[in-house]
Structure 1
Amino acid sequence: MEATTPALVVQPGEAAGAALTNGAFELLADGGAVSASRLTLATGADGAPPHHHRLSHETFYVLDGTMLFRLGDTLTTVGKGGLVVIPPGLPHVFGAAEGHGADVVVVLSPGIERFGYFEQLAAISRGEAEFASLLPQQHRYDVHFEDLPDWRTPPSR
């Protein structure tokens, strides 16, 4: 059986990027079957704000360093070579673990075009835009924000 859709190949240097104050972001694939990106975080830097996805699974593969995840009410540290798969609806947030940087590949499936979201996050990280500017875009990007102001602190039981 012949494929009806051509394969996607992204060569080194072809990905669209966005500079962050605490790292770097490369968008490898935007929409379709998957959205894929590579995120490099400085020591102890936060990634995206606390959120959940209604439609997509989000998968993280740690290429280097150590990541800290809050998955619902659970804090989990994941090192180089570790994999995290987050189902739709689970509130989560992530960043480089304290004292560590991180390099991670992130894949959302199904994919939703999110480059505009990442450009806006980069502008917010540089102080060029307010976080509130993302709120009207939550449904468009399937990124629904959660209120977890101190996400790195273990929840009280």
Structure 2
Amino acid sequence: MSSQVLGPGGGRRPAPTLAMKVEPDAAAFAVFESELAPGAPGPAPHRHLVDDEAFYVLAGSVAFLLDGEVTTCGPGSCVLVPRGVAHGFANPSAEPARVLVVTTPGATRLVEGLHALRRRGAGPEEIADLYRHHDTELVAMPSGSPR
């Protein structure tokens, strides 16, 4: 492993709203910055079976759904989502939001895959297959949950 320094705005961009800060193969963890447009629904509620995630809100407002409970977090908030916890997130506000995500490498690969499938206009079954491939379950959550 080698040291790395990225300046502001640095990192590989696998999608317009993602900037990889620590690549999944560079360490035992990965780091990426994600931008959420105003009103962005975020990913479908899901549960990682082998991956852990932590979200640090850099700007804006992000609603996190954690095991059925919604908590809205502003800048400086940190949310830990251990493997096995059903979760989702969304940007409920009229302003953009940004989060820094620290995760195990598998979750980063899932996020990149989801962005690639969405760009191609993939259907729900192909998206569900990608989640399964990355040891992640889609879960039904109560109505009114961020999504």
TM range (shorter): 0.7 to 0.9
Q: Aligned partners of 2:4 and 2:142: how far apart in 1?
A: 38
Question: Given the alignment of the two structures, is residue 76 of structure 1 paired with residue 71 of structure 2, yes or no?
Answer: yes
* Contact 1:17/1:26 (<8 A) preserved: yes
Taking only the aligned residue pairs, the percentage that are identical comes to 28
**Alignment map for 1:5-154 (pairs within 5 Å):** 5-11=1-7, 12-19=9-16, 24-28=17-21, 29-31=23-25, 32-109=27-104, 111-112=105-106, 114-115=108-109, 117-126=110-119, 128-148=121-141, 150-152=143-145
Q: Give the distance between the partners of 1:114 and 1:104, measured in 2 at CA.
A: 14
Whether the aligned pair in 2 keeps the contact of 1:46 and 1:96 (CA below 8 Å) is yes
Distance 1:73 1:148 in 2: 6
1:119 CA drift (Å): 4.0
For 1:131 and 1:149, locate their aligned partners in 2 and report how far apart those are by CA, in whole Å. Answer: 20
Q: TM-score with structure 2 length normalisation? A: 0.81
Between the two proteins, the alignment pairs up a number of residues equal to 143
Higher-Rg structure is 1
Q: Which moved more, 1:31-40 or 1:85-94?
A: 31-40
Q: Unaligned 5+ residue runs, structure 2?
A: none
CA distance in 2, matches of 1:151, 1:52: 18
1:69 and 1:75 in contact (8 A); partners too:
yes
The one-letter code matched in structure 1 to 2:11 is E
What are the ranges of 5 or more consecutive residues in structure 1 without an aligned counterpart?
none
**Is the Cα–Cα contact under 8 Å of residues 124 and 131 in structure 1 kept in the other structure?**
no
Tell me how large the CA RMSD over aligned residues is.
2.4
Letter in 2 for 1:122: H
